[in-house]
Amino acid sequence: MGVSGPSLALPEAARALAVTPAAAAWLMTAFGIGMAIGTPLLSATAGRRHGPAGVIRAAAALVSLSALLVLLAPNLPSRSPGAPWRRPVRRA
């Protein structure tokens, strides 16, 4: 996907968020700036306190926990592009 990936997904993201493409562009830009500034700052702060190995262990634990949460949540709401959001129907 490369550097142009976000711009290719922008129209679909705007539709999914029910905003204009310009608003979606601003949202993606703000997210990118936040990640570009926040990641090094938080990594440096945590790295000084716990060392590089501690930061890597914490990141691995966070990814594992997130994957476990997704695995344990089979009824997450889902939709196809252009369709309204619907809660999954539970069958008895």
Q: pLDDT tens, 15-50?
A: 887 888 888 888 888 888 888 888 888 888 888 888
Q: What is the pTM of this model?
A: 0.50
In this prediction, residue 78 has a pLDDT band, given cuts at 50, 70 and 90, of low
- For every residue of the chain, DSSP letters joined together read -GGGHHHHHHHHHHHHHTS-HHHHHHHHHHHHHHHHHHHHHHHHHHHHHHHHHHHHHHHHHHHHHHHHHHHT-TT-----TTSPP-PPPPP-
Q: Is residue 85 scored above 60 in pLDDT?
A: no
